[in-house]
Amino acid sequence: MSSKEILEHLSPHHWISGEDIASQLGISRSAVWKQIQSLRAKGYGIDSATNRGYRLASMIDLLCPENILRDLNSKIVGSDLRYFSEAKSTNNLAKSIASSCREGTVVLAETQTNGRGRLSRTWASPPGGIWMSIVLKPQIPLVKAYTINMAVSIAISRVLFALYGLQAGIKWPNDLLVNERKICGILTEISAEMDKLDFAVVGIGINANLDVSEFPDQWMATSLSCELGHDVSRDELIKRLIEEIDFVYEELMAKEIHAEWCKRSATLGRQVRISTFHGDIEGKAIDLSEDGALRLKTPNGEISMLAGDCVHLRAAHEAEKEEDDD
């Protein structure tokens, strides 16, 4: 018995007793109660009242794969779409099918129970967000793998502006920020043999229709609904994302990817702190090299950082002013 089956019996329009759900599904009332608790823990709003039973607190706008695929204008991305009401992690699912599935396959889930960020960090994935992974099989050398992440960040930034007028800056290496707050995280995982890329799974997490006040303050998170003051159509957004990612994927090898990433970067020009396993380094972010390394100007000279966590310390104009004052 899965909590999804219980969900199918619940409606925002009428009450249903625990007893009725239990008899329709052939389970005990306490099993129903347990599954209701598990749905609540995942973020579904469910009202309960004595002598009445259960009711969905509001209409949940579930994703509809048919809407997403209808008249989809793309060549590779979205060639197949796998939809799950719940997944541990769409990246895990995508990796498990990557060798056998078509290039461009998209895996979508309403919630993730074990959503991951980099270094196995937790990625909160309650209902209402967009949790998707795309399987890509680009014919590019391993050293160019980073451009996939860049291309996808650009596509997301373009779509958020085109659909909602939101300026989403790209924070090195893999976040999108709106008003300095994280609205989207990207996790690209690759499988390679020698110098050849086998496949890449690009995991995209977008806080769409979410109340982020439940998230810890230090995450500095925001969502589309918080920024816009209303919910958005996730089907429409996913469709546009697929189309735009498909488009930039074609341009992947072109130089413009690098130039456009730099243009949309929220990191370049800023004073930053990069934390790595070997310690912290502070400096001004001055450039991004073709392999995705961030170039820093530090008091001890210029260095390149290939990976790490980035904290924005001061805004670009403040960093510039400081330099002028020096």
Q: How far is the CB of 157 from ligand BT5 (least distance, A)?
A: 15
Residue 182 touching ligand BT5 (CB under 6 A): yes
What's phi and psi for 218, nearest 5 deg? -65, -15
- Which residue of 35, 157, 174, 265 would you call a contact of ligand BT5, by CB under 6 A? 174
Q: Could you list the beta-strand ranges (E) of 146-225.
A: 169-171, 175-178, 181-193, 196-206
Which member of 82, 116, 234, 270 binds ligand BT5 (CB under 6 A)?
A: 116
CB burial readout 124-155, b (16+ within 10 A) else e: bbbbbbbbbbbbbbbebeeebbbbbbbbbbbb
Whole-number minimum distance, CB 133 to ligand BT5, in Å? 5
Single out the residue of 221, 285, 288, 294 in contact with ligand BT5 (rule: CB under 6 A). 221
CB of 298 to ligand BT5, least distance (A): 23
Least Å distance, CB 212 to ligand BT5, is: 7
The residue from 15, 83, 117, 145 that contacts ligand BT5 (CB under 6 A) is 117
Assess 188 for contact with ligand BT5 (CB under 6 A).
no
CA 275 to chain centre: 22
Q: Does 124 bind ligand BT5 (CB under 6 A)?
A: yes
Between CA 149 and CA 157, with CA 151 as vertex, the angle to 5 degrees is 100
Return the number of other C-beta atoms located less than 10 Å from residue 46's C-beta: 16
Sheet holding 175-178, edge to edge: 81-87, 106-112, 130-136, 196-206, 181-193, 175-178, 169-171
Give the DSSP H/E element, type plus range, for residue 156.
helix 146-164
Residues contacting residue 259 through CB under 8 Å, at least 6 positions apart: none
Q: What's the rounded Cα separation, in Å, for the pair 161 and 176?
A: 12
Q: Closest CB to ligand BT5 among 18 and 43?
A: 43
Q: Does 68 bind ligand BT5 (CB under 6 A)?
A: no
Q: Give the residue, chosen from 30, 219, 282, 290, that forms a contact with ligand BT5 under the rule CB under 6 A.
A: 219
- Comparison of 161 and 219: residue with beta carbon closer to ligand BT5: 219
Least distance between ligand BT5 and beta carbon 208 (Å): 10
Q: Which residue from 35, 74, 133, 157 is in contact with ligand BT5, where contact means CB under 6 A?
A: 133
Q: What angle do CA 221, 180, 92 make, to 5 degrees?
A: 45
H/E element, 257: helix 256-264
- Segment interacting with ligand BT5, rule: CB under 6 A, options 11-19, 89-97, 297-305, 317-325: 89-97
Residues that bind ligand BT5 (CB under 6 A): 89-91, 112, 115-118, 121-124, 131-133, 174-175, 182, 185-187, 203-205, 207, 219, 221
